Structure 1
Amino acid sequence: MSEKSKKLSLFSFFAMTASLFITVYEYPTFAESGLTLVFYLLVCGLFWFLPVALCSAEMATIKGYQEGGIFGWVGKTLGEKFGFAAIFFQWFQITVGFVTMIYFILGALSTAIGVPALNSNPVMKFTGVIIIFWLLTLLQFKGTETTAKVAKAGFIFGICIPVGLLLVLTIRYIHMGHPMASSFTSKGFLPTGKDFPALVSFMLAYMGIEASAPHINELENPKKNYPLAMFILVIVGIALSTIGGSAVSMVVPASKLSLDSGVVQTFQTLLSTGSTPMTWAVKLIAVLLAFGVMAQVSSWIVGPTEGLQAVAQKGLIPARFKSVNKNKVPVPLLIMQGIVVSVWAAVLTFGGGGNNVSFLTAISLTVIIYLSAYVLFFIAYFVLILKKKNQGLERTYQVPGGKISKLLIAGFGLFMSVLAIISAFMAPSELKSSEVHTYLLTLGISFIVTLAIPFVFYQVYGRHHSDTYKPKGRPKNEND
């Protein structure tokens, strides 16, 4: 294959990256902020999404830093222990995120098949999460080629088409004279103090962007096209999330909004305005939405384990996790991941205090675990710029503007990451006083335990088995 044929066009790179983070299941969460959602999407896009995208691009193209993604980026600068923690957080957050996504799937399917208990009964809900996730996991054992096709179809038919319909039907709804829900119009563009807890949920709109950074060397003219792709992605991401969140907020009052089936609720209202309610169309769209998120779950099941395979190669986790089947699928890692997801499903479904509380807790926990990896990532970037500037590290791409610009951009990203983590522990205003305790207790305990796991595991197992510490004719610690 020629070098030219290996290059990704701007559009191909854009499409690949967009499929990693654009989804629909967070729209109801955005909708609770009313018009303020536009402000949050702009701020998070410009001051968090872009810093992550630009800084990860530079880290990913440094010679010798590509191994294991964020594990290599953080490990080469802060040391192996912190690199292990970063890759653990990046993987572990998706085990919570899977539960959130499948909650949305169950909410849509409960409408499509007319079984409300699938979304309201804790036992049925937990059983549904387990069945869907393990079936999708078993599907991965045959390899990712089929799954990739399903993921592409799911993105087109389960995300792009429903969002387009949502826009058209909402315009029609307003044009017919129906009033906007007061929960949308009662809030202004700028947030107030009580709106601050919502910040953490808006970070979810852009998470996963760094996953495309390792492919920057395959992009045509990366110095020009990568920043351009990121700016386009910010615009598209903000536009789609604004359309989805605003439509839900305009149509469904916050007091009646279900966070895991709010998008379907919106379509039910939009399609019942005529003389004959289009129940069949609502069910069809619910199936498409469920398929879209199900396809996204499938595409993420194997992806995050690639970094853990690199960790296994270094000896930081047991050697059995290096093994793959004939289709190059890391079966032991997927089984371990499935067990962890099953545990989270039990904790969040039976200990979450109800549909909206469980969903809010799952989203907040997903984001703050992921942000813990980003905090380490930005600190590592500061070390790279301030302490390793004279080491002659070759790279294909650099954040534009020189040293001051790099520090400023990374500073925005670190500040937003810390701010969002803090906001998660301020209970959302939509929770009842009886639900606040459950939310904070579940979130706090889960987060503390999660932060401790990688450092305890590294101390007890990883550092004693790491090949970094084995005599192979090199220094004890290459970061010293």
Structure 2
Amino acid sequence: MSDDAPVVNKKVLGVFALAMINVAAVLSIRNFPSMAIYGWSCIGWYILGTILFLIPISLAGAELATGWPEGGGVYAWVKQAFGEKGGFTALFCEWSNNLVWFPTVLSFTASTLAFALTPNLASNPWFMFSVMMIVFWGTTAIAYFGEEASAKFSNVGVILGSIVPSLLIIILGLWWLGSGQAIVLPHFSFGQVVPTINLSTLPFFATVVLLFAGMEMAGFHALETRNPQRDYPKAMALSAVIIVICTVLATLAIAIVIPASQLNLASGVMQAIQYFFDASGIAWLVGPMALLITLGGVVNLASWLIGPAKGLGIVAEEGNMPPIFDRTNKYGAPVAVLVIQALIGSVVSLLYVFLPSVNQAYWILSAMTVELLCIVYILVFAALIKLRYSQPDTPRPFKIPGGKTGIWIVGGLGLFGTTFAFIVGLMPPSFFTSWVTYVSAVLLGTFLLAVPPLVFLKFKHPGWSKKTQGGSNP
């Protein structure tokens, strides 16, 4: 970015806008049917995820972002505790897992849009790929215009695409209860809330813990708020309340109306929605709902697309990556990183749509995204604990209560949840005949996607630093 580039006031995000960044990243309607299969015990699973991850990451993010609000999110936090290698590794793992995850949310968005038009389109690879590319590059274009444009899009999009559909499902569930309609779940008892944990459900544990992944996304935008120390904790609390209420109640609303057998047979979230709306007598709303959920998928993608990219730009600005990764425009958007990840994501999407024979390989890649996210959060929780000892006097406008005992409880719960999720994430699905091959492939792939920061730092060149470039990028 040249020295004469216009100065942009980045402090544009209020509490609501910051909270919507988290809600956009975390609240996903496509998870509701898969959770509703578990009936009343979905409450227990959600409670487990809330205790072992949502509450710890919310509290950890609030303390870390207000204590070190210099921008960069997980990079800045982990770097303070474990140096450049640790911070760079945490951020890169968060960014590289997106490259494999992008096609899954893109395919969900495209198939949902197909349902609003003609469901058969979902089986047309050209339609799927075309929509996926329009959405992917369209959200990249929005990110090009910087924080203010992205925030406005997220504010409107998350309300229309995630919160409104969730509330509509909840309202219909309440109407169903009040109208005396048959409830497909057995009579409620507290015993049924307790989830069944055995070898068959253990892999599901990793999914539950990471259902709330993304709560740290607002940390990348800490400097774009008027008062990070005041606004960030409020935003974390607001987003957590919205996410938990919408997720739990909407899942239960689906569970009480749709038999578990129908949910098992459903090939996607819109089939479940159609069953639900047909049973409620408002089938005409299925099309508009599909359009809203499509918008929700786009916003979900956009929130993950810009956050880690901003962090990577900060890493490059500090001279830890080649200057090309530091290219920004007059809006302060990391254009080079945005284009690079869009190109890689497009190639992976192309393989995902047109080479269905790679399903097993893609399953391994999906497992790698779980492992990479677990590495990120393990480092974040470890940094939370260490910084209480290594930098006890650093002002923290929001501080987890209870002193060192409190920090060990919060950080310990988070470390346990994410470490256990990492371990069970290595358990292969039933169609893999060789456990050793599966685990070896996942671990090797995870290593290859996590190690580039060490390579960059090993070959770090003085010319990468802005200071040696006279303070400007070409």
Out of 287, 292, 295, the position equivalent to 1:288 is: 292
Give the counterpart of 1:105 among 103, 109, 118.
109
Cα distance change, pair 141–397 in 1 and its aligned pair in 2 (3 A): closer
On the 8 A contact 1:259/1:359 being kept in 2, the answer is: no
The residue aligned with 2:312 is 308
- In the alignment, which residue of structure 2 is the partner of 1:241? 247
Work out the CA distance in 1 between the residues paired with 2:31 and 2:167.
16
* Correspondence 1:397 to 2:404: no
TM-superposed CA distance for 1:364, in Å, is 4.8
Q: Secondary structure at the match of 1:298?
A: helix
Q: Name the structure 1 match of 2:276.
A: 270
Residue of structure 1 equivalent to 2:34? 29
For residue 110 of structure 1, give the secondary structure of its aligned residue in structure 2: helix
For residues 67-466 of structure 1, what are the structure 2 equivalents within 5 Å?
A: 67-118=71-122, 120-121=123-124, 124-143=127-146, 145-173=148-176, 175=179, 177-180=181-184, 188-193=193-198, 194-213=200-219, 215=222, 230=236, 233-257=239-263, 262-273=268-279, 278-346=282-350, 348-349=352-353, 364-386=367-389, 388-389=390-391, 392-427=393-428, 433-434=430-431, 436=432, 445=441, 448-455=444-451, 457-465=452-460
CA RMSD of aligned residues (A): 3.9
Q: Do 2:160 and 2:296's aligned partners in 1 also have CA atoms closer than 8 Å?
A: yes
Aligned residues: 451
In structure 1, C-alpha distance between the alignment counterparts of 2:233 and 2:136, rounded to whole Å: 36
- Aligned amino acid, residue 452 of structure 1: L
| CA distance in structure 2 between the aligned counterparts of 1:273 and 1:408, rounded to whole angstroms | 45
| 1:378 Cα offset (Å) | 1.9
1:105 CA displacement: 1.1
Residues 217, 311 of structure 1: alpha-carbon distance in 2 compared, 3 angstrom cutoff: closer
What CA distance in whole angstroms lies between the structure 2 residues aligned with 1:13 and 1:347? 35
1:78-123 CA-to-partner distances (Å, cap 9, x unmatched) read 22222111010122223333222222212211211114242x4556
CA distance in 1, matches of 2:132, 2:77: 34
CA contact (8 A) 1:313 1:322 kept: yes
Supply the distance in 1 between the matched residues of 2:434 and 2:310 (Cα, whole angstroms): 34
Deviates more, 1:69-78 or 1:226-235: 226-235
Contact 2:116-2:291 at 8 Å conserved across structures: yes
| Equivalent position SS for 1:271 | helix
Contact kept? 1:305, 1:333, Cα under 8 Å:
yes
Write the distance in 2 (CA, Å) between the matches of 1:117 and 1:148.
32
Paired residues of 1:348 and 1:362 also in contact (CA < 8 A): no
Deviation at 1:464, TM superposition (A): 2.7
Alpha-carbon contact 2:20-2:158 (below 8 Å) kept:
no
> Residues 221 and 137 from structure 1, CA distance in 2 versus in 1: closer, same or farther, beyond 3 angstroms?
closer
Change (3 A) 1:267 1:138: same
Aligned-residue offset at 1:136: 2.8
Taking structure 1 as reference, are residues 18 and 139 closer, same or farther at Cα in structure 2, changes over 3 Å only? closer
Residues 69 and 235 (structure 1), Cα distance of their counterparts in 2 relative to 1, 3 Å cut: closer
Q: Return the letter of the residue paired with 1:264.
A: M
Query: Which is further off, 100-109 or 173-182?
Result: 173-182
Q: 1:329 to 1:458 in 2, by over 3 A?
A: closer
Gaps of 5+ in 1: 1-5, 473-480
Deviation at 1:333, TM superposition (A): 0.9
Distance 1:393 1:47, change over 3 A: same
- In structure 2, C-alpha distance between the alignment counterparts of 1:252 and 1:105, rounded to whole Å: 23
Aligned amino acid, residue 112 of structure 2: A
In the other structure, the counterpart of 1:476 is none
Percent identity of paired positions between Structure 1 and Structure 2 = 26
Amino acid of the structure 2 residue aligned with 1:26: N
Does the 8 Å contact 2:52/2:209 carry over to 1? no
Q: Give the 3 Å change call, closer, same or farther, for CA 201–92 of structure 1 in structure 2.
A: same
Measured after TM superposition, the shift of residue 300 of structure 1 is: 3.4
Cα distance between partner residues in 2 of 1:242 and 1:417: 21
CA contact (8 A) 1:200 1:364 kept: no
State the one-letter code of the partner of 1:49.
L
Task: State yes or no: 1:47 paired with 2:52.
Answer: yes
* d(CA) in 1 for partners of 2:382, 2:351: 32
Helix, strand or coil: the match of 2:201?
Answer: helix
Match of 1:461, as an amino acid?
Answer: F
CA distance in 1, matches of 2:208, 2:362: 14
> Following the alignment from structure 1 to structure 2, what is the Cα–Cα distance between the partners of residues 443 and 212?
33
User: Shift of residue 352 of structure 1?
Assistant: 6.7
Counterpart CA distance in 2 for 1:438 and 1:257 is: 30
CA-CA distance at 1:273 after TM superposition: 3.2
Farther-moved stretch of structure 1 (126-135 vs 406-415): 126-135
Counterparts in 2 of 1:103 and 1:441: CA distance versus 1, 3 Å: farther
Give the aligned partner of residue 470 of structure 2: none
Deviation, 1:287, is: 0.9
Name 1:477's counterpart in structure 2: none
Residue range with higher mean Cα deviation, 413-422 or 11-20: 11-20
Alpha-carbon displacement from aligned partner over 1:122-171 (angstroms, at most 9, x marks no partner): 56544543343123323433445444333222212211221121122234
Q: Distance in 2 between matches of 1:358 and 1:285?
A: 33
Partners of 1:286 and 1:443 in 2: CA distance: 37
Aligned equivalents of 2:93, 2:104: Cα separation in 1: 17
Q: Which moved more, 1:231-240 or 1:148-157?
A: 231-240
Q: Is the 8 A contact 2:56 2:414 kept in 1?
A: yes
Query: Deviation digits for residues 439-468 of structure 1, max 9, x if unmatched?
Result: 99778635532333342x344332332669
Distance change in 2, residues 1:232/1:121 (3 Å): same
TM-score between both structures, scaled by the size of structure 1: 0.79
